[in-house]
Chains A and B, each alone.
Chain A
Amino acid sequence: MSVLPAEAMPAEVLVRVEGLSKHFGVKTGSGQALLRAVDDVSFDIRKGETFGLVGESGSGKSTVARLMLRAYRLTAGRVLFRLSDGTVADISALDDRAMRPIRREMQMIFQDPYSSLNPRMTLRDLIGEPMSVHGATRAEIDARVAELLACVGLRPEYAGRYPHAFSGGQRQRIGIARALALSPALIAADEAVSALDVSVAAQNINLLQDLQEQFDLTYLFITHDLGMVEHISNRIAVMYLGRIVELGETEEIFARPMHPYTEALLGAVPQPDPRKRRSGRRQVLKGEVPSAVNPPSGCAFHPRCPYATERCAAELPALREVGGRQVRCHFAEELALQGVEA
């Protein structure tokens, strides 16, 4: 059993991810190839914080969450998780049976509130299912479901209804109630508001923040919406082609990015401010995200990077500590990159 002593990681850390990798075998025209979805990813998530994972499609951010929650088996690396009794478990080493009691402590909220709820189950069964799996009685479940519905701003009388009777925003709340059912410590929210309309997304973001305060939750918040991630996250990691390129305090990274990809991402966000477009537009990043089956040599970002040199094509930069954050760029100290103006 891979239970480690409480001292295995600092007291404020809830999850530690070390050298996480996930490679998928894919069929190509000429046989098998290896897709490196996640490559050597390491970070800590501290208790009570919101940790944002940012990146474009194919960057590996969802795969990281799924690996952390052990929905996939790891190719390499370790995931350490602090259990509610204070001990630390290396969940990468556990089999499915040993994993089951630990699953109570980590839950997930999905992007699409239509496909993530079984249309033939009532809210009571949807929200109560995780509890019945973990051996709660009917009466316990009924009481808890009513309580959870109230928590997410839905009427307890709705317990007997089916998901189709609810709007997208309400369905997302049902998904949140289900994630809360077992009083988890960590909730991974994968694009949890991306499918919602602006006014409804704002309501649900506020709800998530209220619940965080109320229940001492820690969030892993995955999104491609940089405005949203800036609003909700304490710290962020920016991913590109399966690797972390920059990691640090949200405010500092947004004010002064140190990796050229972070700069490009921030510059690409269209801002709800018509004056900004007339005051001259940011440089638009050229080209497209390369294939993870056949990634570029050296720094994966070098073919699109406006600052790239020969060294970048030859040598993979290490993720290293620069000015209180981690950056994967040979020239992090020399470049003066542009952040977001306040």
Chain B
Amino acid sequence: MSNPTLPPMPSERLLDLRDVQVGFATRDGRVAAVNSVTYHVDRGEVLGIVGESGSGKSVTVRAIMRLLAKNAVEGAGGSIRFNPDGDRELLLSAEHKNSRLMREIRGGRIGMIFQEPMTALSPVHTVGTQIMRTVMLHRKCGRTEARARAVELLGKVQLPNPEEMVDRYPHQMSGGMRQRAMIALALCCDPVLLIADEPTTALDVTTEAQILDLLKSLQDELGMAIIFITHNFGVVADIADRVAVMYLGRIVETGSVDDIFYAPKHPYTQALLQSIPRLGQARVRRLKTIRGSVPDPYNVPKGCPFHTRCDFADAALCGTELPPRKAFAGDQSALCHFAGELREAGQ
């Protein structure tokens, strides 16, 4: 099943995306949502993906899960490879949404949690039933065993009285409890990869802190890798080992969490970091901003996608030519003509 034209994945590599392209055919023409996205996830690490709305972060993980909408068009040159056990490379990008392999992988080897647990969970089934069905499907086990597993999982995500919670419906739980139930559901078959799409965005700060701590302790215990999607730089700093910053369907910068926060190379990363008001920061009169707004995806600027809002842009170069990916020490790279030549505006 592996693709002969791609070099084999190193053994620590769990997931490898190369040149992934996703567009959508709409009434108003084709929209390019994800352009040439390349990233990887190693076993047991947390990759944080940050970006504003419309940057393509969710569409990319939907391509991994093969859950793209019907009108999605994928570029032919791209590949998504997944090596769950270290001995077989699976080419997910060649799989159909409903293939036997994908149905095994989704919920079995890759778990997923979403922003809004109220809409992601079924409102007409108890939390226990939802977990049991997944366990019975993937583990081919009976009801009694599946129920015991559901109770065990609800305890693991630190819900009080798991024996009682297993028979509750989502509407009988608070937002924080529902998010815990969804994590239990995603972890029910011991996945090697957990995809978390803005899992704390809808929660209050104290609940968010609880969920982040829970995810970290579960990761320590179970050793799965996590792709954590968020627009909140504070959350990324708290949980990620490596970070990829997305803008208008492209990864504009990637590196270790320290490099991204303390030595960002891309003007977009730098500007974003400066535009967040930080706790304890000396009161400044004005926040730094990025001028304009994210261009609409039907009219992506030519050249560098960020040049229309960039303080360092050279209209002749940035406005016409897509920048190369410049590599730096420690696996950091930035999609910018001037990366490495700009003043580093980290903290």
List A residues at the B interface (Cβ < 8 Å): 56-57, 167-170, 197-203, 205-206, 209, 224, 226-228, 230-231, 251, 254, 264-277, 281-282, 284-286, 288-289, 339-342
Chain A residues near B281: list those with CB within 8 A. Answer: 230-231, 342
- A–B Cβ pairs within 8 angstroms, 24 of them: A56-B205, A56-B207, A169-B293, A197-B52, A197-B294, A200-B293, A203-B289, A224-B204, A227-B279, A231-B284, A268-B205, A268-B206, A269-B234, A269-B279, A270-B235, A271-B237, A272-B234, A272-B237, A272-B278, A274-B237, A282-B209, A284-B209, A284-B210, A286-B210
* Contact assessment for A271 and B279 in the assembled complex, using a CB-CB cutoff below 8 Å: yes
Complex: A231 Cα to B174 Cα, angstroms: 31
Enumerate the 6 nearest inter-chain pairs by beta-carbon distance, A residue then B residue, closest first.
Answer: A270-B234, A340-B280, A231-B277, A199-B290, A56-B204, A197-B52
* Contact assessment for B209 and A268 in the assembled complex, using a CB-CB cutoff below 8 Å: yes
List B residues at the A interface (Cβ < 8 Å): 52-53, 174, 176-177, 204-210, 212-213, 231-238, 257-258, 261-262, 271-273, 275-291, 293-294, 296, 347
Closest to B274 in A: A202
Chain B residues near A276: list those with CB within 8 A. Answer: 237
* Given A167-B293, A270-B209, A284-B213: A198 touches B275 (CB 8 Å cut-off): yes
The CB with the most chain A CB atoms within 10 A, among B53, B278, B287, is that of B287
Chain B residues near A285: list those with CB within 8 A. Answer: 206, 209-210
* Contact assessment for B287 and A206 in the assembled complex, using a CB-CB cutoff below 8 Å: yes
* Given A202-B289, A231-B283: A271 touches B278 (CB 8 Å cut-off): yes
Chain A residues near B258: list those with CB within 8 A. Answer: 274-275
Complex: A197 Cα to B206 Cα, angstroms: 21
Chain B residues near A203: list those with CB within 8 A. Answer: 289-291
* Given A199-B52, A202-B275, A285-B206: A277 touches B287 (CB 8 Å cut-off): no
Chain A residues near B273: list those with CB within 8 A. Answer: 272
* Given A198-B275, A269-B205, A272-B261: A288 touches B280 (CB 8 Å cut-off): no
Complex: A198 Cα to B258 Cα, angstroms: 20
Chain B residues near A275: list those with CB within 8 A. Answer: 258
- Select A199's contact among B212, B238, B289, beta carbons within 8 Å: B289
Chain A residues near B52: list those with CB within 8 A. Answer: 197-200
The CB with the most chain B CB atoms within 10 A, among A56, A198, A275, is that of A198
Complex: A271 Cα to B279 Cα, angstroms: 8
Complex: A268 Cα to B238 Cα, angstroms: 11
Chain B residues near A57: list those with CB within 8 A. Answer: 204
Complex: A200 Cα to B291 Cα, angstroms: 8
Q: How far is the CB of A302 from chain B (nearest CB, A)?
A: 16
Q: How far is the CB of A255 from chain B (nearest CB, A)?
A: 8
